[in-house]
Structure 1
Amino acid sequence: MRPAESDTPPYVARVERLVADDGNNEMMVRVRWYYRPEDTGEGRRVFHGEKEIFLSNDYDMQSTQTIQGKCVIHTLQQYMKLKYVGVDDYFCRYEYDAGERDPQVAAGERFTPKSVTVYCKCNNPYNPDAYMVQCDTCKSCGLQT
């Protein structure tokens, strides 16, 4: 989806439904938003891939005029098998609860699943953009579950 600011990367959303807006004689789309790590309460972490996004529970109606193009959202496993990662390729391994910001809910509690495969003893999830021989933090190697 086209952002209002030209220096902002495009927004990513899944089109759920097309709707005719008879009042304005315009087609609208109901979308379900994807969030980038930096757009969440937790922010971007060392294990987040450059093309990682989170499927949210945030829905909205947008004009079809704001659609910039089509992209492909892969699972992490599909993404890691790509021979070439194009500008329109992204991956998603978490869902993000974008509900009201309750100060009693820790940022990490807004993600599903609560845990994913990790690559080291310090329990950092795998970053597909980083060629890993060993973890830079704990110096461990090998996938853990």
Structure 2
Amino acid sequence: MTKHKRRELPSAVHDGEEYKPGDCVLINPDASAPAYIARIRKLIQIGPEPEQVELEVTWFYRPEEAIGGRKAFHGEAEVFDSDHQDKAPLAAILGRCNVHSVTRYEALDRRDENDFFCRFTYKPRTKQFEPDRVPVYCMCEMPYNPDRPMINCDTCDEWYHPSCLGLGQQVLQQDNFVCPTCATPQQPAKKSRPGP
């Protein structure tokens, strides 16, 4: 019996779909958990049969899978890139998915359950995030979450969640917006009299 020599492939086909390095895929989980999300790094032929292909992948983490868990500012479709590399069989692929930057995710005309966005890298060995600080907005002082639309004040250039201002979502349709702080007339400072 001859041993099959492992070789790197430019692509491989599974369930009629062609996959290449760089593609993001959903991987069958061990239990009833949501599908794992990975980026294919390499496809390796490990046996003589066409379906005997191993994936070398980099995993994405969902917020609840990382230290600290899901926070209020994490979007529903948010995942974290990672430095966690692993192997998985080609047959474990459930289908293709897309992991976008926040900007590209927001620009999508249509999103479905296979569209995700990423703005952090998680290092599971050290349990650290990059970047480890993000800007905060609104009076709630939370980082941006694409699931919670914000409106920009034309006067102070600050961003606000309508709900934090006690306003309805219809305010997002306005061409011009002035936040309540800027809309309140400022009282002139009282001059103090010089002392005796």
TM-score by length of 2: 0.60
Q: Which has the larger radius of gyration?
A: 2
Query: What is the aligned partner in structure 2 of residue 127 from structure 1?
Result: 145
Where do 5+ consecutive residues of structure 1 fail to align?
A: 101-106
**Matched positions, count:** 131
| CA distance in 2 between partners of 1:9 and 1:26 (Å) | 25
Q: Quick one: which amino acid aligns to residue 126 of structure 1? A: Y
Matched residue of 1:80: which SS?
helix
Aligned to 1:55: 81
Whether the 8 Å CA contact 1:76–1:92 is kept in 2: the answer is yes
Amino acid corresponding to residue 64 of structure 1 in structure 2: L
Percent identity between matched residues is 37
Matched, 1:115 2:115: no
CA distance in 1, matches of 2:76, 2:34: 12
Structure of greater relative contact order (alpha carbons < 8 Å, 6+ residues apart):
1
Q: 1:131 to 1:138 in 2, by over 3 A?
A: closer
Counterpart CA distance in 2 for 1:37 and 1:137 is 24
Q: Could you tell me which residue of structure 1 aligns to residue 108 of structure 2?
A: 82
Matched, 1:44 2:70: yes
Task: Please identify which structure carries the higher strand content.
Answer: 2
Q: CA deviation at 1:11?
A: 0.5
Give the direction of change, closer, same or farther, for the CA distance of 1:136–1:42 in structure 2 (3 Å limit): farther
| Whole-angstrom CA distance in 2 between matches of 1:65 and 1:55 | 23
SS of 1:70's equivalent in the other structure is strand
C-alpha deviation, 1:137, in angstroms = 10
Unaligned runs of 5+ in 2: 1-26, 152-159, 166-178, 180-196
Distance, in Å, in 1 between the alignment partners of 2:132 and 2:103 is 18
Where in structure 1 do 4 or more consecutive aligned residues deviate above 4 Å?
135-139
Q: Superposition RMSD on alpha carbons, in Å?
A: 2.5
Q: CA deviation at 1:116?
A: 3.0
Q: Distance in 2 between matches of 1:41 and 1:137?
A: 29
Deviations 1:35-65 (A, max 9, x none): 0000011100000000000001100011001
- 1:29 to 1:76, Cα distance in 2 relative to 1, 3 A: same
